[in-house]
Structure 1
């Protein structure tokens, strides 16, 4: 009987070691070792997207936090966009023409940290969400990072 995980959580930080741990978790998810995108028999799960949730911050982005990678359906994004329209979240959409997910993800977070430093946004550090989409799954052929950051 096949099984799948709905989510997995690790405690990490933004140190080099923490980033390496995040990369390793993602590799295990993409290759099916952790059955979130695939079930335990390596069958791809249709209609789901992996989303990173950053929560339980010990302070700000410089401290420890929980990273939860979870399987969501399309209605998750509709709900998040509704939260953006209510002013609870700010949405960032960064893309890379060359299909490099790491580039658009890094650029999205740089924007957040810059706006935070300038005082343009005030983060609550409660629950932020990130969805990256490889270029082969987008209509425009570019890699995308959608970032939802909780603001006051």
Structure 2
């Protein structure tokens, strides 16, 4: 899969006091650039310092063949997919808490290469976690 990066931030889930502000502003700026509402959008997580407790880069991206700011995600990666309850305003956060909990219990062995949230035009959201 080839993704073109629209906007990015570097952050940490537990040590960055401005994480929500950074992510909200990144999505606002990206949304002002992305006018096509029928396009699948991605929240791409990569460049991990260590595990989910370390620093990482989060980017808003779209599928593209444009070589500018493009990241190629290898087709060889295996993913486990988590459906987000979009009827819950905390659905994304709750899905991530489930992912972290399963990882802590040894039920999810993450690769920490490229993970992504996939936002469909119909409002559906999936989180794809790269696994070993």
Unpaired runs of at least 5, structure 1: 39-44, 74-79
**Deviation string, structure 1 residues 62-89 (Cα, Å, up to 9, x no partner):** 111111110237xxxxxx9xx7xx8811
For normalisation by structure 1, the TM-score amounts to: 0.66
Which residue pairs with 2:130 in the alignment? Answer: 150
Which residue pairs with 1:62 in the alignment? Answer: 53
Matched, 1:126 2:104: no
Contact preservation (8 Å) 1:7, 1:69 = yes
SS at match of 2:18: helix
Larger radius of gyration: 1
Identify the structure with the greater strand proportion.
2
For normalisation by structure 2, the TM-score amounts to: 0.75
Q: Which of the numbers 39, 43, 47 marks the counterpart of 1:48?
A: 39
User: What is the CA–CA distance in structure 2 between the aligned matches of 1:116 and 1:64, rounded to whole Å?
Assistant: 17
Q: Given the superposition, is the C-alpha separation of residues 25 and 90 from structure 1 closer, same or farther in structure 2, using an over 3 Å criterion?
A: same
Which residue pairs with 2:29 in the alignment? Answer: 28
User: What is the CA–CA distance in structure 2 between the aligned matches of 1:9 and 1:64, rounded to whole Å?
Assistant: 13
**Deviation string, structure 1 residues 18-40 (Cα, Å, up to 9, x no partner):** 2320111112223x1xx1x12xx
What is the aligned-residue RMSD (CA, Å)? 2.5
User: What is the CA–CA distance in structure 1 between the aligned matches of 2:45 and 2:21, rounded to whole Å?
Assistant: 16
Superposed, 1:1-152 pairs within 5 Å as 6-14=5-13, 15-30=16-31, 32=32, 35=33, 37-38=34-35, 45=36, 47-72=38-63, 88-97=78-87, 100=89, 103-132=90-119, 138=122, 144-152=124-132
Unpaired runs of at least 5, structure 2: 65-72
Q: Given the superposition, is the C-alpha separation of residues 6 and 58 from structure 1 closer, same or farther in structure 2, using an over 3 Å criterion?
A: closer
Q: Given the superposition, is the C-alpha separation of residues 18 and 119 from structure 1 closer, same or farther in structure 2, using an over 3 Å criterion?
A: same
